[in-house]
Structure 1
Amino acid sequence: MSIPFLKQDPLAHGAVEQTAPGVRRIVCPNPSAFTFRGTNSYIVGRGTVAVIDPGPEDAAHLAAILAATEGETITHVVVTHTHRDHSPGARALVAATGAKTYGFGPHLTPPDAGGEGGDHGFHPDVRVADGERIEGGDWALEALHTPGHCANHLCFALEGPTGKTGVLFSADHVMSWSTSVVSPPDGDMADYMRSLARLQARDDTMLLPGHGPAITDPKPFLAALAAHRLEREALVLQALRAAGRATPAELVPPVYGALDPRLVGPAGRSLLSHLIKLGAEGQARRDGEAWTTAPAG
């Protein structure tokens, strides 16, 4: 089941797009093999507004956000998760506006324990737990804790003046252009699949991701994403059985085939996450740096 990825995003860096009622989008100029054309920052509301995911430290992006909200008041800087392409820009935006920061909490994995991709300097002024609401002038955001890509990852359901809108800010849990890297120990495939199932059970009509354009038909997209992860897991188990014993790096070629060299390392990390999940389920076991299939019975 192929995922209907959206590989075109014509929004220019620094330009402002009305993405949904009450929501504007600006793309940071930080394109890469992992960020697509850049990190999406969303402006929520009018007059008194929130900025979701201010992005990395980038002077041009900060200027674009401030220009887009000229004459308005930024009261909330909301961070979906503490990866370095999403939260470091909060510091300069807060310094320019006096807004408070909101997020699940600081990055949960220390650098020396595998959390090297985290923004360890971010500590929200206000911690937001699963199910809690952030309220503004004509909008509110309900937090959904969705660990998997990042342990402190939050999605946010948007409420407008008349109630629920069907819009969900899915950040990096569900992106429109690619699957998400799930890199242990901060990333966890079992958590990711549970979080994905949680979104599948909802009735959102639009997902606004951390990278790429809006997903306007979420149900089939989420179903395809879940099916893809399960197919990948089956391939991992098949390749491991064929090898007998293998490291995650050794499993990359039979599972992924030819890859952009920049993606080989992250692919190995995602494979490790699959193996850890299979290990917890009793289908694989660790043998030093390598893995084997678990014996029957």
Structure 2
Amino acid sequence: MPELSFDRNFDPAYGALVALAPGVRRMTAPNPSPFTFHGTNTYVVGRGAVAVIDPGPDDERHIAALLAALEGERVAAILVTHSHRDHSPGARRLAAATGAPVHAEGPHRAARPASAEEPATDAGGDLAFRPDVRLADGALVEGEGYALEAVATPGHAANHLAFALAGTPLLFSGDHVMAWATTVIAPPDGAMADYMASLDRLAARPETAYLPGHGGPVTDAPAFVRALKAHRKIRERAILERIRQGDRTVAAIVAAIYRDTPAALHGAAGLSVFAHLEDLVGRGLIGAPEGLRLDGQFVPA
């Protein structure tokens, strides 16, 4: 079974454009947190007339630093992997400053409708986000010396896209695959079934190195994706076993299987457990007599 190990070595170099590969540069936004690591990575593709991927949060300083670093060049296109507030609001500032069109899958939406009783888990959603150009799976955004292919990767967010850089082994993976940590899946905003299917989709692609939305590169992407999937399957089996042993709530399951995780991260762990439970209910492996609720009851099928 592939072993999953994380790489947390990363220098954000705030305010600087860091060269990563021919025609690829990165600037990290100064929005560090337990969920964003050192901050959101903004990528610049091309030279002269460039594409910018994920301008980041609504941070005037970050956009100003990006424009200053690109003095003498022109932003021709803005691409957004997904509409969470650490990735997409900066697109509005950058578009206003440059006139470049914003490309993305579409406005923010949930993976499924939320029930009236269900606590909201989409507080990170950028509900005002509206791209100028909507990208279907396989669509190309082309510029001087580059072509970026949109790869539909729902799971973390329903409108999540990755972008493959044609003619290279590189894929901009957004928050779907990251080297520093596993991805948070928070229903109804995201969906575990979609996330797992998107992992399979990436595993079948030829790219070997990913540039994620947070942290450093994923250098052996195929092996890392296999390890991520194995990790999720192990977690799924552990959750099923806790249900069989009598645990009935997300909180009880988190207390049992995340004993060694800092308490400050138990909220995120609970969302991950809930995502697995939702998937298991959908596959008929467990039941949810009160409906799909973060604070609901879950029972053996």
TM-score range, shorter chain: over 0.9
1:287 is displaced (CA, Å) by 2.3
* 1:227 alignment counterpart: 230
Helix, strand or coil: the match of 1:258? Answer: coil
* 2:208 alignment counterpart: 205
1:262 is displaced (CA, Å) by 2.8
Equivalent residue in structure 2 for 1:158, among 141, 144, 165: 165
Amino acid at match of 1:22: G
1:258 is displaced (CA, Å) by 3.2
Q: What value does the CA root-mean-square deviation take over the aligned residues?
A: 1.5
CA distance in 1, matches of 2:89, 2:176: 19
* 1:79 alignment counterpart: 80
Q: What's the TM-score, normalizing by structure 1?
A: 0.94
Helix, strand or coil: the match of 1:134? Answer: strand
1:19 is displaced (CA, Å) by 1.1
1:114 is displaced (CA, Å) by 4.2
Query: Is 1:149 aligned with 2:147?
Result: no
* 2:122 alignment counterpart: 115
Query: Is 1:272 aligned with 2:274?
Result: yes
For structure 1, which segment, 259-268 or 189-198, has the greater mean C-alpha deviation from structure 2 after superposition?
Answer: 259-268
1:282 is displaced (CA, Å) by 1.4
Map 1:37-56 → 2, pairs under 5 A: 37-56=38-57
Helix, strand or coil: the match of 2:266? Answer: helix
Name stretches of at least 5 consecutive residues in structure 1 with no aligned partner. none
- Deviation above 3 Å: which 4+ runs of structure 1? 110-114
* 1:188 alignment counterpart: 191
* 2:141 alignment counterpart: 134
CA distance in 2, matches of 1:202, 1:247: 37
Contact 2:54 2:88 in 1 (8 A): yes
CA distance in 2, matches of 1:59, 1:102: 21
Helix, strand or coil: the match of 2:13? Answer: coil
For structure 1, which segment, 249-258 or 49-58, has the greater mean C-alpha deviation from structure 2 after superposition?
Answer: 249-258
Q: Any idea what the Cα deviations from partners look like across 1:203-248, whole Å, max 9, x if unmatched?
A: 21210000011112112111111110000001110111112x5111
* 1:291 alignment counterpart: 298
CA distance in 1, matches of 2:277, 2:198: 18
CA distance in 1, matches of 2:108, 2:14: 28
* 1:238 alignment counterpart: 241
* 2:293 alignment counterpart: none
Helix, strand or coil: the match of 2:278? Answer: helix
Equivalent residue in structure 2 for 1:282, among 281, 284, 297: 284
* 2:12 alignment counterpart: 11
